[in-house]
Amino acid sequence: MKFKGRIFVLSMVLLTNCLYIAYYYMKDGHIERIEIIGLPLILLIAWWSGKQYDKVKHLEDINLKKKKELHNSNQMFRTLFENAPIGISLIDQDGRPVLTNKKLQEILGYNEDELNAMTFSEFSDPDDSAINMDLLKDLLDGKIDHYELEKRYYHKDGHVVWGIVTSALYPDIDNETTYVIGMLVDITERKIAEQKLKEAYKEKESLSNRDGLTGIANRRYFDEYLVQEFEKARKTASPLSLIIIDIDYFKQYNDCYGHLKGDECLKQVANVFEKTIDQSKGVAARFGGEEFVILLPKIDTLGASVIANQIQGAIENLRISHIGSEISEYLTVSLGLSTFNMESTSLTPEDLISEADQALYLAKQSSRNRIEIYH
C-alpha cells in the first residue's frame, strides 16, 4: 500500500494527542493553546516521517521483487540449461567452457570436468576454430552482438561431429564478469545424409557419362569435353589432338563369332584405351558402334602419333582371333589423327572431328590396320 507508513504514523500521532489532550482536560478542566497549535506541526512532522518510511519500504519492495525475478530467471535458465535438447556452454574470454550442459557432454563425449580443463580449439577442426576465434574476438569487442557458424568438432572417440554454433554475450551479474553463451545444434546426421546424396549424385552423373557396354566415356560426354578443351586450346594457343579408331572388319567379326563375342571384343579394346592413356593425358570415348575416339589436350601431332602406335600395338598383342578379317588372323584397328594448333585457328570442334574422320577413311581405303595423319 503506497501510503501505509504515512497513514500509520498520522493515526498513531492523532490517537496519542487525543488521549493526551483528553487526559489533561479531565485533570485540569481546560486545554492549553500550545497543545492546540502544536498538533498540526506534529502531524506535519509525522506525515514527513511516514513518507520517508514509505519511500524506503517502496525501494525495499522493488529490490525484493527484482531479486525474486532474478531468482526465477536463474531457475528458469538452469532448468532450460540442464534439459535443453541442444548443447549449451558458458565460455570465458579464452574460449574455455566454464559450464556445460549434459547434452553438450553427450554430443562431444567428454564429461564436464574434462571439458572445463580444455579450450574448444583443442577438439575443433583447426580451420573452423580459427574462424570461430576471430568471431569471438569481434563479439567481445562489441563489433557484433552474436554470430552463427557451421563448425566441425572431434568427438572423444575421434569421429567428426558437425554442428551449428550460435554465440552471444551472457553477463554474469553476481561475478561481474562477461561470459559467452554458446549453443550447439548437432547436424552430423544431416551432413552425412548430404554427403551420401552428393556421392550418389556424382555416381549417377558419372554413370550418365559412361558407355553402358564398355565403361569408358560415352558420346555425350565426349562432345561436351571436346568443346571445353577446344576453347582452352584456342585461348592458350596449345595443341589439341584427336584420334578416331575403327575396328577392322567388325561386322564380319560379329557374323563369325556372334554379338556376345562382339560385345566382349569391344570391352577388351576399350580396356586397352584406358590402360594406354590416363586421365591426365586425355579421355577415351565410344563414338558409336565399333568406332572410338581419343582426345589428347596439350599433345601435338608427334605425341599423338606415339600414343596411336602404342594403341595399335597393344590391340594386336591381345591376339583376338578374327577369321573374318581380310588382312590378319587377329583383330586389328585403323586410326585417323588430326591436331588443332596455332596455324589452324579457324577450325571448329566439328572440323577437328571431320579431319580425323578423313584420315581414318584414308587408312581404311589404303590397307587398314594403319595410322593416317590429316595434312
Alpha-carbon gap, residue 12 to 20, rounded angstroms: 12
Which residue ranges of the chain lie beneath pLDDT 70?
1-54, 70-77, 171-176, 205-206, 279-280, 342-345
pLDDT reported for residue 303 = 92
Hey, how many other C-beta atoms are within 10 angstroms of the C-beta on 301? 16
Which of 60, 274, 290, 350 is catalytic? The answer is 290
Cα–Cα distance, 177 to 140 (Å, whole number):
12
Predicted local confidence at residue 354, as pLDDT: 95
Looking at the DSSP bridge assignments, the partners of residue 170 are 179
Confidence at residue 281, expressed as pLDDT on a 0 to 100 scale: 77
> Is residue 336 within 8 Å of 301, Cβ to Cβ?
no
Sheet holding 177-186, edge to edge: 97-100, 87-91, 177-186, 160-172, 146-154
pLDDT at 53: 67
- Please state the pTM of the whole predicted model: 0.54
Decide if 290 is catalytic: yes
Given this model, what pLDDT does residue 227 score? 93
Strands (E), the chain: 87-91, 97-100, 146-154, 160-172, 177-186, 240-247, 283-288, 291-297, 333-340, 371-373
Predicted local confidence at residue 74, as pLDDT:
64
pLDDT at 117: 87
DSSP string, 232-284: HHHHHT--EEEEEEEETTHHHHHHHH-HHHHHHHHHHHHHHHHHHS-TTT-EE
**Res 306: pLDDT:** 93
Encode pLDDT of 95-107 as tens digits.
888 888 889 999 9
Average pLDDT of every residue of the chain = 84
The reported pLDDT for the residue numbered 271 is 92
Q: What is the pLDDT of residue 329?
A: 94
Residue 35 CA, chain-centre distance (Å), reads 89
